[in-house]
Amino acid sequence: MSIAPPSTFSLDDRFARELPEMALPWHAEVAPEPRLLVLNEPLAAELGLDPAALRGDDGVRFLLGNAVPPGARPVAQAYAGHQFGGYNPRLGDGRALLLGELVDTGGRLRDLHLKGSGRTPFSRGGDGFAAVGPMLREYVISEAMHALGIPTTRALAVVATGRPVYRETALPGAVLARVASSHLRVGSFQYARSTGDVELLRRLADVAIERHGIGSGDDGAAEAENRYLALYESVVAVQASLVAQWMLVGFIHGVMNTDNVTISGETIDYGPCAFMEAVDPATVYSSIDAGGRYAYGNQPLIAEWNLARLAESLLPLLAEEQEPAVELAVTALKRFRPQYSAAWAAGMRAKLGLPEGLDDAATGALAEDLLELLQAGHVDHTSFFRALGAAARGDVDPARNLFLDLAGFDAWVQRWRALSPDGEAMDRVNPVYIPRNHLVEEALDAATGGDLGPLGRLLEVVTRPFEERPGLERYAAPAPADFGAAYRTFCGT
Ligand code: AMP
Ligand code: MG
C-alpha cells in the first residue's frame, strides 16, 4: 500500500481569507514521537478522508498540523469572552489552531481544528499543550453526545505527541483533531465588537449567516428585513434547544463561559464537563467552579445571560440608534425562556413516553412532581428514566427500587400510567449508557498508562447508548458509593 501524500487532505483557508483581523497565521509544534491513539473512522469517511491514509505517517502528521496540505493556512482564532462572569477582551486560541475547512460528503462545510498543538500569541501564561487524558475525555464525551443526538463538535482523532506536558506531574502530551460546523462563538462577536470596527463586526455576522445557512431554510433570515436580528434570533433558538437537551440527559458543561458558546448551537469545549448521577440541580463537578455558577440547574439561566452578552455585541448591527437596537434585542432575548421551556417540555414528554397533544398543564405538573421525587430520593437520573420504560410495560420494580419513599413513587406512577405511556418509544430516547464519571476516569487512567483497551470498550458502549446489550451491566450502573460525592473534574489546561 502506498502512503498518501499530504496533498490528499486538501483544506480551504476560508476563515483566514474572510476574517483576517481575527485569524493569526500560525503553525503547530512538531511532535517528537507521534502515535495515533484513536481515529474516528465513521467521521473520517463522512468528511471524505480515507481512514487508511490518516493512519499512515503522513496522515498522522496531517492530524498534528505538522504536514500542512498545499493551500491550507492554519490560524489561531481571536476571540474574547466572559469567564465566570468577568470579561477578558483577549482570549483566543491559546493552545489550538484552525487547520482549515473542508466540504464533507453531505456537502456541508466543516472546520478541522486542533487542540494541544502548542503555544500561540494567545497563550498568555499557558504552555499551549494538552495531556492525553483530557483530549481523550473530549473524544469520548463528545462522541457520546453525538450518539445521544445532541448537537456537538466531534472528535476525529487523538494523537499522542511523545512530548511530556507538565501539570501537577509530567503527563503524556496529545493533540485532539476535532470537527465543527464552525468555531464561531459568542466570544468571537465580543472580540469584533470590542475592536470598535463595525465593518469587521458586520463581516463576521455575514460569515456566520452564510456559514450556518441562516435564511436559506424556512426562517428566511438572509432575506429578512433585518438579517442581523434574524441571526441573533437564530442563536437564541439553537441555544435554547441545546441547553434543554443537556438538561434532559443530565449533562453539565461545567464552563459555560461566552467563549464556549457557539453560534451554531453545537456543544463545544469539553473541559470539566460530566453527567449528573443523583438528581440535584446544585450538582457541580468542576474543581474551578467553587461558587456553583455553572451548576446543573443554573445552565438555562447562564445560557440566557450569555445570549444577552451576544446581544450587546450585535447592537450596532441591529439598528442605527441605540434605543431601538436595545428594544429589538430585548424582545428577541425574551423568546429564550418560552423556547427553552417548550423544548424541555417536549423532551420530557418523550422521556415519559407520553403522546403529543396531552394537556400541557397536566404533563407539566407530572414532570415537576417527578423531579421533586427524584431529587428528594437522590435517584440516578439515567437509570431512572430507562427503568421507567419497563414500568410502562408493566414491570414497575426496577424503577420503584430506586426510591426510599415508595408511597410517593407509587402515587406518581399511578397518575403517569393512567396516561398510557409507550415503553418502546421511551427506550428510543432514554439512554441505557452514558459516559459515567467513574468509567471515564478508569478509561483515561488506563490510556494514560498505555492501555487503550478500556477506552475502546467504553467508546463502543456509549456510541450506541440506547441499545441495551447483555454483559454490559456495569456500564449502566451508577458509580460505586465511595466514588460519588467528592468527584471533581478539571479543565485539564
Ligand atoms: P478553555 O477553558 O479551554 O475554554 O480555554 C480558555 C482560554 O484559555 C482559551 O483562550 C484557551 O486557548 C486558553 N488555554 C487553555 N489551556 C491553555 C494552555 N495549556 N495553554 C495556553 N492557553 C490555554
Ligand atoms: Mg474554550
Instruction: Say if residue 27 is in the same domain as residue 128.
Output: yes
Q: Which of 13, 93, 111, 259 is catalytic?
A: 259
Residue having the nearest C-alpha atom to atom 11 of ligand 1: 94
Residue having the nearest C-alpha atom to atom 14 of ligand 1: 94
Distance 95 CA to ligand 1 centre (A): 6
Taking the CA of 94 as reference, the closest ligand is: 1
Asked if the model's pLDDT at residue 491 lies above 80, the reply is no
Average pLDDT over residues 102-117: 97
- Is 371 among the domain residues? no
What length is written for the chain? Answer: 493
Backbone conformation region of residue 471, classed left if phi is above 0, alpha if psi is from -120 to 50, else beta: left
Concatenated DSSP letters of 331-372: HHHTTHHHHHHHHHHHHHHHHTTPPTTS-HHHHHHHHHHHHH
Q: Which three cell numbers stand for residue 64?
A: 498534528
**Confidence tier at 222 by pLDDT (50, 70, 90):** low
β-strand partners of 342? none
Q: Is 259 a catalytic residue?
A: yes
- What's the pLDDT score for residue 215? 75
Backbone conformation region of residue 124, classed left if phi is above 0, alpha if psi is from -120 to 50, else beta: left
Atom of ligand 1 nearest to the CA of 257: 4
Element at 424 (helix H, strand E): helix 423-429
- Is 215 among the domain residues? yes
- Is 433 among the domain residues? no
Average pLDDT over residues 183-196: 98
Atom of ligand 1 nearest to the CA of 128: 20
Amino acid at 322: Q
The total of structural domains in the chain comes to: 2
Taking the CA of 121 as reference, the closest ligand is: 1
Domain that holds residue 29: 14-180
Asked if the model's pLDDT at residue 261 lies above 90, the reply is yes
Instruction: Please identify, among 180, 204, 227, the residue that sits at the C-terminal boundary of a domain.
Output: 180
Instruction: Say if residue 243 is in the same domain as residue 289.
Output: yes
Residue having the nearest C-alpha atom to atom 6 of ligand 1: 91
Cβ–Cβ < 8 Å for 161, 64:
yes
Asked if the model's pLDDT at residue 452 lies above 90, the reply is yes
Instruction: Say if residue 190 is in the same domain as residue 175.
Output: no
Residue having the nearest C-alpha atom to atom 10 of ligand 1: 91
Asked if the model's pLDDT at residue 1 lies above 50, the reply is no
Instruction: Please identify, among 297, 322, 343, the residue that sits at the C-terminal boundary of a domain.
Output: 343
DSSP alpha helices (H): ranges in 69-166? 132-147
Instruction: Say if residue 126 is in the same domain as residue 192.
Output: no
**Residues 343, 348, 353, 355, CA torsion sign:** negative
- What's the pLDDT score for residue 223? 64
Q: Which of 79, 77, 78, 116 is nearest to 98 (CA)?
A: 77
Per-residue model confidence as pLDDT tens digits over 307-353:
999 999 999 999 999 999 999 999 999 999 999 999 999 999 999 99
The beta strands (E) that lie in 142-299 are given as 154-166, 170-180, 251-252, 274-275
Q: Which of 326, 339, 111, 110 is nearest to 238 (CA)?
A: 339
Instruction: Say if residue 162 is in the same domain as residue 192.
Output: no
Distance 90 CA to ligand 1 centre (A): 11
Task: Give the pocket of ligand 1 (CB within 6 Å).
Answer: 91-96, 122-123, 126-129, 255, 259-260, 269, 271, 491, 493
pTM of the model: 0.96
- Is 363 among the domain residues? no
Instruction: Please identify, among 180, 215, 248, the residue that sits at the C-terminal boundary of a domain.
Output: 180
Asked if the model's pLDDT at residue 190 lies above 50, the reply is yes
Integer Cα distance of 129 and 172 in angstroms:
10
